[in-house]
Amino acid sequence: MPVEFLTDEQAEAYGRFAEEPTRPELERFFFLDDEDRNLIAKRRGDHNRLGFALQICTVRYIGLFLDDPLAVPWPVVEHLADQLEIEDPSCLKEYTERPKTAYEHA
């Protein structure tokens, strides 16, 4: 008899955002420290800086990179954009226009 380690809900949620992170989760997993900011600053364009930050924080929170790096709750994007002083977080949609960028950042 096979043993299953995950519930159906856990298996379905694996590798993606099952729900919007709480405020304490945002502050813990989506906080950009000085080292993060130095890495992010090397990227050109707000969309690349925000996308790169999103990838860093997503891997912290979920433990892996998403197939679609933009498949995150909007409050996460806004939280990171605020820290990076990016006025228009909707610029993020440009991040996947060059598919190789997200792959290289991962």
Q: Which residue has the higher pLDDT, 3 or 12?
A: 12
Question: Domain containing 37: what range?
Answer: 21-105
pLDDT of residue 69: 86
* Alpha carbon distance 102, 55 (integer Å): 8
Domain count of the fold of the chain: 1
pLDDT, greater one: 4 or 66: 66
The answer as to whether 12 is a domain residue is no
Please report whether residue 4 resides in a domain.
Answer: no
Structural domain contains residue 39: yes
In this predicted model, what pLDDT tens digit does every residue of 38-95 receive, in sequence order? 999 999 999 999 999 999 999 999 988 888 888 999 999 999 999 999 999 999 999 9
Task: Read off the pLDDT of residues 6-29 as tens digits, 9 standing for 90 and up.
Answer: 566 655 666 677 889 999 999 999
Evaluate whether residue 37 is within a structural domain.
yes
Residue 49 domain flag: yes
6 occurs within a structural domain = no
| pLDDT at residue 45, rounded to an integer | 94
